[in-house]
Every structure is written in structure tokens, then in C-alpha cells.
Structure 1
Amino acid sequence: MPEVSAGIVVAATVRLYRRRVDPGFTPESIHSWLIRRPYATYLVRAEGRSMIDNGIHPGSLLVVDRSCDLHDGDIVIAGCIEGFLVKQYRTRPDRLVSGNSEYPDIALESVPKYGLDGVVIASLTRHRGLE
């Protein structure tokens, strides 16, 4: 009878990832999905960390519509002497709120020094660099 010796068995599993058909909404183009009024829409790049709790990070690309009606809770672009801010507009009382607790709220008085320039309708953040 032949001698049987113990051996090591190595097993490997390889997973192949493939693209799947997207079952979700498919617009004609990303442009048609993001921009409703081209004549009143512009893009701006976000700086700073004051809106990170709202998903707006340094470098995020913001789609801003100047023709939207302003509603409580909208993210807005507000202009002032120092430049522009991105904040959340809140009513009762009228104020601009940061999306980061390290930044204070800004009260809007009857004669505001902040002019609301437009409503942020979308933000795009790159998670991977260009190759």
C-alpha cells in the first residue's frame, strides 16, 4: 500500500466585478438634469469647511440658479463686501446658517448687508481624481 502524506491545500476565490445596467432614472444628459434655466444658472467652486454637514466640501462644484424662489432651508449664495458666502437660509428670524457648528449664524436685519445672489440647486464633489 502506498504511503499517504499530509499536504497543504490552497484555495483562492476571485471575484469579478462588472458593470450592471443602472435601474434608476436616466436623464437625457447630466446638463438637462442639473440645469433648468440656463440663462440664470452658473457654476461656482466651494471653498472652506462651513457647509460640510450639508455635503458641501472644499472644492465641491455648486450649481446656482438665480431665478429660483427662495424657500426656508435653501442653500444660497450670499454676497457681501468681503466676497460671497455659501449658507443655508432660514426664516423666523431671517438668518444664514452654517453647516458646521464651528461657524456662527448670521442674522439678516431689515437692511441686510448680505445680498442673496442665488439658490444652490446641486453640489458635485469629486471622489476620485482624473487618470
Structure 2
Amino acid sequence: MQRFLSYITGWTSTMAWQAGNALGIFLVGSLIQTMILVNDENYAFPSWQGTLLAFAAMIIAYIGNVYGSKVLPYWQNAVFAIHIIAYFGYIVPVWVKAPTATHKQVWADFQNEGGWSSMGLTLLVGQLTGISAQVGIDT
């Protein structure tokens, strides 16, 4: 059974890797649409535009990986440094300026402001984005 199970494991990991990349590209397109929606309240959010934005993100990633392979290690180091700086540049103002909440509000006060039919469904829909990277078949 070892040979068969190794074969299945290899293909499962390959398919999960490809699905994870597709999810990342889809999220980039969705985030761009969300940024447009935040800045333009009249934006209709059509699905076909999200698909085009995902294709654009895929083409940019392809060009960067294929034609920018010589500078990619330097680019990764620069982006890593920017990521760390931006993390603190984001978290410090939020930490300082955010309104405080009581312990009970944080752990026991749930609100259904999305119009879902039940609180359980609201919690499950709200968790989808956060857990999508943690439920892959190869996890």
C-alpha cells in the first residue's frame, strides 16, 4: 500500500497547491473590487469584472516570475521589509486609537448586521475568509 498511498498523497498535494494558488488570485481580484466599492458607492460589483481582475493579477504574477526571475530574490527581500514596516505602521495606530471593549463584549457579544437568517450562519459566513487557508486538503 505504500506506493499507492505515496502516489495519492503526491497528487493530493499537487492539486491542493494549485487550488491554493487559484484562491490567492481570486482573493486579489475580490480585494481590488472591494477597494473600488469602498471608494465608489455606486460601483455595481459585477462578477465578470472580478474575473478580469483575477486574470490581470495572474498575468502580473506570471510576468513577474518568468521575466523578473533575476531580480526576484531582491524584490522578495524588499517586499518582506516593507511588509514588516507596514505591519507596525498599521497595527500601532489601530492599537492606540481603537475604542476599547469589555471582556464580555469581545467574547460574548455577537451581532447579526449582515441580514443572515441566524446567528450561527452569520458566524460561519464571517469565518470563511479567515479559515480558507487552513482547511486545504493537504493541511
TM-score range, shorter chain: under 0.3
Larger Rg: 1
Relative to total residues, which structure has the larger strand share, 1 or 2?
Answer: 1
Report the TM-score, using the length of structure 1 for normalisation: 0.22
Relative to total residues, which structure has the larger helix share, 1 or 2?
Answer: 2
